[in-house]
Amino acid sequence: MNTSPIPLAEFSREEGLISPDFEHLPLTLPRRCLMAFLGEKRIAAFAEKRGGKVLGTFLSLTKPFPLYEVPGEKEPLLLVQAPAGAPAAVLIEDRLFAYGAEKVLAIGCCGSLADIPENCFFPIEKALRDEGTSYHYLPPSRFIELDKEPLLHLKDYFRKKNLPFSPAVTWTSDGFFRETEEKIRRRRQEGCSLVDMEASALAACARYRGKEFAEIMFTADTLSSLTHDQRRWGKESRNAALLLGMEALEEI
């Protein structure tokens, strides 16, 4: 392990003393999984409508996370709610990999740093690592590029569905209330048009575990005018996001 005055820069390649499968659950998960940053009732209703069943549950200190197996066109798919924030989201993702997932697609809303309408969908190509979790999985770097092969498949999916798209760069931040004017200006200069709280950490965890990760985001609130406009928090896209995510999952 290297040493640094900044703890997050002290990356260790050793395996942790706590394994992601420490619960020893009797689970073998589908290879493809959708992590949805959406409400649990919406996810449960979606899974039930499509003949899904609960394979098991990941527990946390605050709530359970049911794991829904949903029939796909070619193979069973997994659907699970993703908690907000990088540490919590990676606690779910790392366990998914431990129990059999090979490809994870995340879908959820994001903030806009540029003049982008609400409810626009973007496949993510790169994330700025302004959170802490990713530094426990990969050495320090400013950006992480998401896996190229699933991104190519996402582009093909958007074209097939005649959905307008442009792969985007996101600023992943732990500080929802610390998105300052000077930081926003700097992130724009670095090419970031979106802001979220999980992408770079989820990508880093997948890379460390030798798995594949991709993400689709839809625009909700905006900081493009250097003031905060909640708009409608992307409400009109939430049902569409689940359907789009499950369809896209089969393509990656």
Residue 175 domain boundaries = 28-250
> CA 200, CA 134: separation in Å to the nearest integer?
6
pLDDT tens-digit profile of 146-194? 999 999 999 999 999 999 889 999 999 999 999 999 999 999 999 999 9
State yes or no: pLDDT of 1 exceeds 90. Answer: no
Helix (H) / strand (E) element for 196: namely strand 194-196
pLDDT tens-digit profile of 7-52? 999 999 999 999 999 999 999 999 999 999 999 999 999 999 999 9
pLDDT of residue 2: 81
> CA 158, CA 134: separation in Å to the nearest integer?
28
pLDDT of residue 116: 97
Residue 105 belongs to a domain? yes
- The total number of structural domains that make up the chain: 1
Residue 7 belongs to a domain? no
Both structure tokens of 59:
């527990």
The torsion defined by the Cα of 4, 8, 11 and 16, in degrees rounded to 10, comes to 130
pLDDT of residue 171: 99
> CA 98, CA 116: separation in Å to the nearest integer?
37
pLDDT of residue 170: 99
Bigger pLDDT: 195 or 164? 195
Residue 242 belongs to a domain? yes
pLDDT of residue 189: 98
Both structure tokens of 175:
């500080």
Residue 234 belongs to a domain? yes
Query: 128: which strand partners?
Result: 143, 171
* pLDDT cut 70: percent of the chain above it: 100
Residue 19 belongs to a domain? no
**Confidence bin at 3 (pLDDT 50/70/90):** confident
pLDDT tens-digit profile of 216-251? 999 999 999 999 999 999 999 999 999 999 999 999
Helix (H) / strand (E) element for 91: namely helix 86-98
pLDDT of residue 191: 98
Residue 42 belongs to a domain? yes
**Confidence bin at 82 (pLDDT 50/70/90):** very high
- In the chain, % helix, strand, coil (3-state, to 5) comes to 30, 25, 40
Average pLDDT, the chain: 97
The pairing of beta strand 121-130 with beta strand 212-222: antiparallel
CATH number at residue 112: 3.40.50.1580
